[in-house]
Structure 1
Amino acid sequence: MRPVRTAARAMLASIFVVDGVRHFINPDSKVDTARWVLDRVGPTLEKTDPRIPTDPRTVVRAKAASDVLAGLALATGHFTRPAAALLAAGLLPTTAAGFAREKQPTDLLKNLGLIGGLLLAAADTQGRPSLRYRTTHAVDRSSRAVKRAAKTARRDAKIAAMSAAAARKMPG
């Protein structure tokens, strides 16, 4: 299954790397979409942290750079789950803007398909148990070991008490 995962991650990441480079070099093609999103969330961003850029060209370039970096991480198998989650989160505003502005339904469906694939990649543990699973089972194993040790200690204490009582009854 590993070669399939590797190829699928590379194919999924390719659109983000190529489009990211393209939009980093020429951000003007996405400025209108960024402006539409920033008109809605810009005031909240400015209140939250005034250092966050609200200039559409800067935001497009920042998103393009993050798409390239996360796409390369996903394609190469490094930090695949966080990279896929970052790419999916970055695709949500674009999809919402396209849906609200009634762009091509094909673009909307393409973005929804990409989000679905990224969510699968973000949830994929590559056949290994997740951290939550390992932690839960480690706790269960530990609690069973503690119960077993307590039961053994009670049994040993009972045997020791019986031995001491028998020793007191013996002459000498």
Structure 2
Amino acid sequence: MKPVRSLARVMLSGIFVVSGARNLQNPGRLAPAAKPVTDRLAPLIQKNVHPRFPTDAETLVRVNSATQLIGGLMLATGKFTRPTALVLAGSLVPATVAGHPFWKNDDPAMRSNNQIHFLKNLGLFGGLLLAAADTEGKPGLRWRAGHRIGHSRRSMQRAVRTARRETKIAVRSAATARRLPG
């Protein structure tokens, strides 16, 4: 199944690598569309990241593009695939909201085009969530923790049974030793 996973990750990452590189080279073309979203995110970024972190639309487009480019390359090469898929999914949200607000379009053709791209990004988001959840056939952390707890519980129960059995044997031995003429 590894070749299928590898191919799927490469296919999923392609759009992030290409669009990330393109938008990193020319962030100015996306800045006007991103401005309403970046203006709403700016206070959160200054509060949670750093007060002097640049929050202008062009810089944030550049940061998002670099995230998508690097994340796409990491996903394609299989490096840290699960966290990378989550980061890419997170970077897709503001790009989708800013880039394809079909609910704001009055022109039916523009509305339809943006709606298609919005739904495409929603599908990419779903694929990234699957990639983030994929353990490549290995047991996940939750299963391993539960299995380890169950194993520990069984080991403890065996130890308790053994201790009881040895205690009974010791008690019988002591009782027998007291009855023996000494």
TM-score range for the pair, normalised by the shorter chain length: over 0.9
Contact 2:39/2:57 (8 A) holds in 1: no
Q: Aligned equivalents of 2:71 and 2:84: distance in 1?
A: 5
Superposed CA offset, 1:56-98 (max 9, x none)? 1111111111111111111011100011100011111122232
Contact 1:10/1:76 (8 A) holds in 2: yes
Aligned residues: 172
Q: Aligned equivalents of 2:45 and 2:77: distance in 1?
A: 33
Alignment match, 1:57: 58
Q: Aligned equivalents of 2:154 and 2:125: distance in 1?
A: 41
Change over 3 Å in CA distance of 1:61–1:18 after alignment to 2: same
Alignment match, 2:43: 43
Superposition map of 1:60-139 within 5 A:
60-97=61-98, 98-99=100-101, 100-102=103-105, 103=111, 104-139=114-149
Q: Aligned equivalents of 2:83 and 2:159: distance in 1?
A: 40
Please report the TM-score for the alignment, with normalisation by the length of structure 1. 0.94
List runs of 5+ in structure 1 lacking aligned partners: none
Change over 3 Å in CA distance of 1:113–1:151 after alignment to 2: same
RMSD (Å), alpha carbons: 1.4
Superposed CA offset, 1:88-142 (max 9, x none)? 1111112223235445111111111110111111111110011121011101101
List runs of 5+ in structure 2 lacking aligned partners: 106-110
Q: Aligned equivalents of 2:171 and 2:43: distance in 1?
A: 75
After the TM superposition, which parts of structure 1 deviate over 6 Å for at least 4 consecutive aligned residues?
none
Q: Aligned equivalents of 1:53 and 1:89: distance in 2?
A: 19
Contact 1:33/1:94 (8 A) holds in 2: no
Q: Aligned equivalents of 1:105 and 1:28: distance in 2?
A: 23
Superposed CA offset, 1:9-36 (max 9, x none)? 0010011011111111111121123212
